[in-house]
Amino acid sequence: MASSSFPYTQYACPCTDITTPSSAVTPPSGNATAPGSSDGDSSIDERSFNPHDPRAAYALLPLDHLLYCDECNAIKCPRCTSDDILTWYCPNCLFEVPSSTVRSDGNRCARNCYQCPECTALLAVTAVPKSEADHGTYLKPEGADARTAEAFLLQCQYCDWSTLDIDLTFTKPTKIAEQLAKYRQARQSSVSAASPDTASEDVKTVSSTPISHDLDTAFANLTAFYKTQLATSRDAQPHLSGPYTTSATASNNTTPYTSPSNLHRIMSLYGNNSLQQKPTAKPQPMREAQDPAEGLFTYTPTQTPSHPFQDPHDLLPRPFSLRTRRGKRCRTCRQILARPETKPPSLRFKIRSPALHHIPRLLLKPLNPPVPAPLPETFRLRVEEKGDRAASLSASEGYKQGTPEMYVLIVRNPIFEPVKITLATPAFAPARAGAGGAGARVTVLCPSFTVGAAGDVWDEALGGTAEGGRGAAMERLVGKGGEGRLPEAGKVWERGRSWAGVVVEIVRGGERSGTKGDGNPQFGNGDGDGEEDEVLEIPVFVRADWTGHSAESTGDGAAGGGDGRDGKHARQEARRTTPERKQQHGGEDSVKIPFELGYWCVLGLEPLRA
Amino acid sequence: MASAKPPPPSKPPASIHPTAVIAEKAVLSGTNRVTIGENVVLHPYARVRAENGVVAIGDNCIIYERATVGCETTSATGAKGGSDVSIGAGCVIESNAVVEGQIGECSELGVAACVGKGAKVGRYCKIAAMERVEAGEELEDFTVVFADGRRRVSRTMRDHESVREAKHKGQMMAVELMRKMIPNSAVKWTM
C-alpha cells in the first residue's frame, strides 16, 4: 500500500484508544517541542503515540482511506463509520432491485443473469435446433432467429459448460428462473421417489446414498429438530419471563419455588432497582443435535467434504448475487459522510467528505533530493558543477548511523482559512521492540508556524505574492533558491500559498555514547545488521488551529450544536474548543468560531543502506 | 536501429496447400519440412518454427497473431521426432499461444495458452486463455483446461453430436471470413 514507497505518511484515527494509552504502553517522553499545549489538557500532548504498538497497525491509515465528519470535527476511519445500504443491484445487468424484492426473493438477480457453476463466468443464452437431425441451424446467440430454433440452453463461453451437461434445455429464452425452478422440483421429486423417506432410517441407509442426498436429508432432519427445540423452549419461556399474574398458575406447575429461575423472579420483584435487571429475554440454552435422526451429520475420512457435488447433475446455473451500494455515516452523530448516487451505472457521489479536504496533510522529503540519472546535455537547465553534484549525492546516500539527516516536512492546508500548525514529536522515536533497530532522535526545527488558506489552483500558480508564487517556483525550478542556505531553528524553510515546509533533523541510532539514557534497551547498543533493515517510523502530533465562519464551515452545526454533543466528544482528541465556542454562540453568520484539530501521524523513512 | 539487419532466416522446405492463406508478415523459419493443409489461415506475425522438427498444420486451422507453432529448442531427450509439432484439422490457435506438442483435431487454444514440448492434446479439447499444458502431458479427448489448471471433460461436447457439428460449421464460416480479409502471400514461401 502506501508504505511501499518512502517516505510515507499515515494518519491515526482518534477512535482507537492507543492514542490515549495507559502509561504502561509507552513511557511519556520528554516533549520539548510542544508549546501549543496551553489549554488545560496538556495530558494529551504528553502521551505520545507508539507506532510499534501491536494495535497501531489498525489505527494507522493512509489519508485517502479516511473520512472527516464536520459535525463532530473528527477524522473517521472505516471502523467509526456505519454503512447504509442504498440500493441492491445486479453486477451483471446493473438492474436496480427494490429492497422489498430482495427481502422476499433473496439477493439473487431474478433476470436472465446466470453464472457458470464450474467457473463463475457469465452464461449466455444460446439457441439450438431441437432435433439433432436438423443440421440447418447453428448455435447462435439469442434473438438471431428465435423462431426456427426450438430449444435454448445456457452456455459458458469460457469453460464450455452448458446446461446440456445436466440434460436440460429451455423451451423459451426468457423466464429462465421459472424453468430452472421447474427442473429442480422435478429432480427433487425424482430423487425422493428413488430413495423414499430416509428421515427415520439409521446411519446405514444414510451412508449408502450419495453424499448430496445425505446432505438434503440431514438438513431436513436438522430443521425439524430445531423447530421442536424452539417450540419446547417457547413453552418453557412463560415460567421465566411471564408477568406475575401467572405466578399462581406457575405454582401449580412442577417447577419448585427453589428453582433458580423462580428465585430470580422473586428477587427481582422485591429487590431494589439496582438488582432489578431487564425482564429475562435470555433464551434457554438449547441442546444440539446428537444423532443422525436429529440431523447430526459427520464426515468419515472416505467422504470428501470439500466438494459435495459429486454428481455433475447437481451443478445448476447460479443466478448472480446482488451487490449493494452503500453510503457512510458517522457512528456518533449520524452525519452522512459519503453518499453515492443510487443509479448503479453512475460512479459519482452526491455527498462525500474525505479527510483529504479537511485536515492538513504532511509530506516528508529529503532536503537535498537525490539526483536522478544525469540528463543529457541538451535537456539541462543549467550546467552543474562537479562539487554541486557530489554534495547532493552525499546527501542522498551517505547517511550513516549517528549523522544528522535533513528532511523537509511539508504541511499542506486544504482548508479555506489560514491555519496555525503546531508540530510535536517525541524527542526520541523508539525502534520496534526486538527488531534490533536503534530508534532516532528527531528535532523539528520550527515546530509552530502558520500555513495560508487553500484557494484556487490558478491563484497559487499566478499570484506573485511575497514568498510563494511565480518567483519562488522559478527559483526552485532553476535551483537557485535553496543553495547556500542553511536550515535555521525557528524559521520556515520554504513556503507557498497554502503550504509550508519546515526542516526536520533526524539522527538515527541516537548518540552512541548514550548520554541520554532513555530507558530504551535498544538505545545505543543496536547491532549494525538489524538497523539496516529497520524502517524508521516517527510519530508526529499535528495540531491545527483556525478560525472558521460558523455558517460555511460547519453548516448548521452552529445552530444545532448543543452542549450535549460537544460533551459527547470531549474525550476525543479531535474536537472543538467548547468554551470559546459558547462565547461566540448565538451571534450572526459572520461570527468567527475557533476550531482546533489534533491528530497523530506517522512518518515512515526507509532503512539506511549503509 | 543503426546496426545492420540480420540476414533473413532460412526458408524451410514447405508444402503449402494452394487454398491456404498466409499473411505477408507471417514467418516460417527453420530447416525442417513445414506442411500446411487446405484453407489454413496464418495471421500476420504468426510464427512457424521448424528449426528442430517438422511442423504439420491440418486443414481449416486458424493461427492468430504472434502465436508460435513449433519448438524453438531441441527436445530434452534428444530423441528424433521429439520436437515434431502437429496440429489437427479445424484447430484455433489464439494470439500469443505457444504450441510445442501435438494437438488433436478441432481443439482450441486460448490467448497466451501454452502446450509444452511432447504434450499430446486430444480432439475437441479447449485450453482456456493463459492456461498451460505441461511438457509430456497427455489430455484425453473433450478435456477443458480452465481456471488455473483445473481440468474436466466437457460432456456437452462429448455427448452431443450437434454441438460438434455446430463447431465445425462455425469454424468453416470463420475461415471463409478470414480468407476474404487477409491478403495471401503464400507465394513467398513456396517459391
The confidence score (pLDDT) of residue A49 equals: 77
pLDDT exceeds 90 at position B37: yes
B47-50 vs B68-69, strand pairing mode: parallel
- Across all residues in chain B, what is the average pLDDT? 89
Listed ranges A270-284, A451-465, B69-83, B134-148; the one with the highest mean pLDDT: B134-148
Cβ atoms of A314 and A118 closer than 8 Å: no
Listed ranges A126-140, A171-185, B32-46; the one with the highest mean pLDDT: B32-46
Q: Which one of B130, B156, B168 would you mutate to disrupt binding with A, by most A Cβ within 10 Å of its Cβ? A: B156
Q: Is B127 an interface residue toward A (CB < 8 Å)?
A: no
The confidence score (pLDDT) of residue A118 equals: 87
Q: What is the pLDDT of residues A193-211, one digit of tens each?
A: 765 544 444 444 444 444 5
The confidence score (pLDDT) of residue A574 equals: 39
Q: Is A312 an interface residue toward B (CB < 8 Å)?
A: yes
CA-based nearest residue in chain B for residue A160: B154
The confidence score (pLDDT) of residue A544 equals: 92
Read off φ and ψ for residue B188, nearest 5 degrees: -55, -35
pLDDT exceeds 60 at position B73: yes
The confidence score (pLDDT) of residue A509 equals: 74
A165/B161 CB distance under 8 A: no
Instruction: Using alpha carbons, list the distances in angstroms from residue A593 to A68, A71, A412, A579, A596.
Output: 19, 14, 22, 11, 10
pLDDT exceeds 50 at position A36: no
Q: Is A132 an interface residue toward B (CB < 8 Å)?
A: yes
B146/A164 CB distance under 8 A: no
B155/A164 CB distance under 8 A: yes
Q: What is the pLDDT of residues A213-250, one digit of tens each?
A: 677 788 888 888 888 888 887 766 554 444 444 444 44
Please work out, in degrees rounded to the nearest 5, the angle formed at the alpha carbon of residue A418 by the alpha carbons of A416 and A422: 125
Cα A472 from Cα A491, distance rounded (Å): 17
Residues of A in contact with B161 (CB under 8 A): 132
pLDDT exceeds 80 at position A267: no
Mind telling me how many Å the CA of B7 is from chain A's nearest CA? 34
Cell numbers for A326: 452503500
pLDDT exceeds 70 at position A257: no
Task: Parse chain B into domains and list their residue ranges.
Answer: 14-183
| Residue in B150, B156, B170 closest to A162 by CB | B156
Q: What is the pLDDT of residues B131-155, one digit of tens each?
A: 999 988 999 999 999 989 899 999 8
Q: Is B156 an interface residue toward A (CB < 8 Å)?
A: yes
Question: What percentage of residues in chain A have a pLDDT greater than 90?
Answer: 14
The confidence score (pLDDT) of residue A193 equals: 72
Question: Taking residues A137-164, what's their average pLDDT?
Answer: 71
B166/A312 CB distance under 8 A: no
**Weakest mean pLDDT among A13-17, A484-488, A570-574, B60-64:** A570-574
Question: Taking residues B73-82, what's their average pLDDT?
Answer: 60
Listed ranges A312-316, A558-562, B124-128, B161-165; the one with the highest mean pLDDT: B124-128
Confidence of residue A387 (pLDDT cuts 50, 70, 90): very low
Q: What is the pLDDT of residues A477-499, one digit of tens each?
A: 555 545 567 778 888 888 888 88
Q: Is B123 an interface residue toward A (CB < 8 Å)?
A: no
B152/A119 CB distance under 8 A: no
Cα A531 from Cα A529, distance rounded (Å): 6
| Residue in B144, B161, B163 closest to A159 by CB | B144
Burial of A323 (0-12, 13-18, 19+ CB in 10 A): middle
Confidence of residue B25 (pLDDT cuts 50, 70, 90): very high
Burial of A381 (0-12, 13-18, 19+ CB in 10 A): exposed
B162/A135 CB distance under 8 A: yes
| Residue in B156, B165, B170 closest to A161 by CB | B156
Cα A438 from Cα A167, distance rounded (Å): 70
Q: What is the pLDDT of residues A542-555, one digit of tens each?
A: 999 988 875 444 44
pLDDT exceeds 70 at position A32: no
Cβ atoms of A48 and A539 closer than 8 Å: yes
CA-based nearest residue in chain B for residue A138: B166
B146/A135 CB distance under 8 A: no
Cell numbers for A575: 474536537
Q: Is A126 an interface residue toward B (CB < 8 Å)?
A: no
Mind telling me how many Å the CA of B72 is from chain A's nearest CA? 29
pLDDT exceeds 70 at position A58: yes
pLDDT exceeds 70 at position A381: no
Task: Parse chain A into domains and list their residue ranges.
Answer: 2-66+359-605, 127-192, 203-313
Confidence of residue A90 (pLDDT cuts 50, 70, 90): very high
Amino acid sitting at position A494: E
CA-based nearest residue in chain B for residue A139: B166
Mind telling me how many Å the CA of A123 is from chain B's nearest CA? 14
A132/B161 CB distance under 8 A: yes
| Residue in A138, A159, A312 closest to B166 by CB | A138
Question: Taking residues B112-127, what's their average pLDDT?
Answer: 94
Instruction: Using alpha carbons, list the distances in angstroms from residue A532 to A253, A430, A521, A539.
Output: 77, 15, 18, 20
B39 or A55: which leads in pLDDT: B39
Question: Taking residues A151-174, what's their average pLDDT?
Answer: 89
Confidence of residue A526 (pLDDT cuts 50, 70, 90): very low
Question: Taking residues A425-431, what's their average pLDDT?
Answer: 79
CATH code of domain B14-183: 2.160.10.10
Question: Taking residues B50-63, what's their average pLDDT?
Answer: 93
Read off φ and ψ for residue A171, nearest 5 degrees: -90, -25
CA-based nearest residue in chain B for residue A162: B156
Q: Is B163 an interface residue toward A (CB < 8 Å)?
A: yes
Confidence of residue A174 (pLDDT cuts 50, 70, 90): confident
- Strand segments, DSSP code E, in A550-590 are none
Residues of B in contact with A164 (CB under 8 A): 155-156, 159-160, 163
pLDDT exceeds 60 at position A576: no
A160/B154 CB distance under 8 A: yes
B162/A160 CB distance under 8 A: no
Question: Taking residues A501-530, what's their average pLDDT?
Answer: 54
Listed ranges A138-147, A221-230, A265-274, B100-109; the one with the highest mean pLDDT: B100-109
Q: What is the pLDDT of residues A294-345, one digit of tens each?
A: 878 777 666 555 555 556 677 889 999 999 999 999 988 989 999 999 888 8
Cα B114 from Cα B99, distance rounded (Å): 6
| Residue in B146, B160, B165 closest to A158 by CB | B146
Listed ranges A55-64, A71-80, A374-383, B129-138; the one with the highest mean pLDDT: B129-138
pLDDT exceeds 60 at position A47: yes
ipTM metric: 0.85
pLDDT exceeds 60 at position B86: yes
Residues of A in contact with B159 (CB under 8 A): 164
Q: Is B144 an interface residue toward A (CB < 8 Å)?
A: yes
Residues of B in contact with A139 (CB under 8 A): 163, 166, 170
A346-361 burial, b at 16+ Cβ within 10 Å, e below that, comes to eeeeeebbbbeebbbb
| Residue in B126, B162, B166 closest to A160 by CB | B126
Tell me the DSSP string of A244-297.
Answer: GGGHHHHHHSS--TTSHHHHHHHHHHHS-TTT--S---PPPP-PPP-SGGGT--
Read off φ and ψ for residue A472, nearest 5 degrees: -65, -40
CA-based nearest residue in chain B for residue A119: B147
Q: Is B149 an interface residue toward A (CB < 8 Å)?
A: no
Question: Taking residues A365-391, what's their average pLDDT?
Answer: 60
Q: Which one of A165, A169, A313, A314 would you mutate to disrupt binding with B, by most B Cβ within 10 Å of its Cβ? A: A165
Q: Which one of B126, B127, B153, B163 would you mutate to disrupt binding with A, by most A Cβ within 10 Å of its Cβ? A: B163
Residues of B in contact with A161 (CB under 8 A): 154, 156
B154/A161 CB distance under 8 A: yes
The confidence score (pLDDT) of residue A390 equals: 42
Question: Taking residues A410-422, what's their average pLDDT?
Answer: 90
The confidence score (pLDDT) of residue A212 equals: 53
Confidence of residue B43 (pLDDT cuts 50, 70, 90): very high
Q: Is B25 an interface residue toward A (CB < 8 Å)?
A: no
| Residue in A119, A135, A155 closest to B165 by CB | A135
Q: How far apart are the first and last CA of chain B?
A: 30
Question: Taking residues A59-67, what's their average pLDDT?
Answer: 89
Q: Is A202 an interface residue toward B (CB < 8 Å)?
A: no
Residues of A in contact with B170 (CB under 8 A): 138-139
Cα A596 from Cα A575, distance rounded (Å): 6
B146/A139 CB distance under 8 A: no
A452 or A55: which leads in pLDDT: A452
pLDDT exceeds 90 at position B17: yes
A481 secondary structure, DSSP code: T
A118/B146 CB distance under 8 A: yes
Tell me the DSSP string of A163-209.
Answer: GGGGT--BSSSS-HHHHHHHHHHHHHHHHHHHS---TT--HHHHHHS
- Across all residues in chain A, what is the average pLDDT? 70
